[in-house]
Structure 1
Amino acid sequence: MESAAQEQDKPQPPAEAEAHTSVAECRRRIDQIDRQLIALIKERAVLCGRVRRARKSTGASGICLARENQVIDRFSEALGVIGPELASLLRQAVCRLDGTVR
């Protein structure tokens, strides 16, 4: 059986209202981050489209594998094992957006 002093030393769960406020604040911030990510992905799609068109206008392939590998490496270094998958998903999404985002 625990003494009263031991019971007082236990961490207490946050008050329900405080927990809801914290969750609401976190969700608001997540929504802000999502809006920023969406804007950045759209901007990236526009820029990638410009690069692709510029490369093709000089007779080069629209895709530079060395550059693709640099991006994958950067994501891998920053995010670990999920980095390459996320870089690949981003590349696919950007390719789909190219031409639809201005």
Structure 2
Amino acid sequence: MSRPSPAGARSQRAHLAHLDHSIIALIRQRTEICLELAALRRAEGGPAIELARENEVLRRYHDALGPSGTSVALLLTELGRRAEGAVRAVE
């Protein structure tokens, strides 16, 4: 197996850095939408968290990425819950 050239490795690292930046931006965007949805549900008299929806997310990620996908989905839902808790603590 041949080793990548230094220029090729730099290019791949730059590409990964770009992907990481995009993933972080998407996670922040997702967390913000979770906060908005929780506020809407509370305003309608419902629970801030819908466990059935969270389970759908877990299944979706598991189906797409396997067991590691479930771990990713758990982290994402936890970020939404932590952000929700932080907002309620300020209110």
Using the size of structure 2 for normalisation, the TM-score is 0.83
Contact preservation (8 Å) 2:58, 2:73: yes
Q: Which residue of 1 aligns with 2:60?
A: 74
> Which residue of structure 2 aligns with residue 37 of structure 1?
23
**C-alpha displacement at 1:48, in angstroms?**
0.4
The structure whose residues are more often helix, as a share, is 2
Relative contact order (C-alpha < 8 Å, sep 6+): which is higher? Answer: 1
Query: 1:26 and 1:19 mapped to 2: Cα distance?
Result: 10
- Once the two structures are TM-superposed, the CA of residue 92 in structure 1 deviates from its matched residue by 1.3
Give RMSD over aligned pairs. 1.6
Q: Which amino acid aligns with 1:85?
A: S
Alpha carbons 1:42, 1:97 under 8 Å: kept: no
**Unpaired segments ≥5 residues, structure 2:** none
Q: Percent identity?
A: 31
Number of residue pairs matched? 85
Q: After TM superposition, where is structure 1 displaced by more than 3 Å over at least 4 residues in a row? A: none
Deviations 1:34-84 (A, max 9, x none): 110111011111100000000011111111111101100100000001111
Q: Secondary structure at the match of 2:47?
A: coil
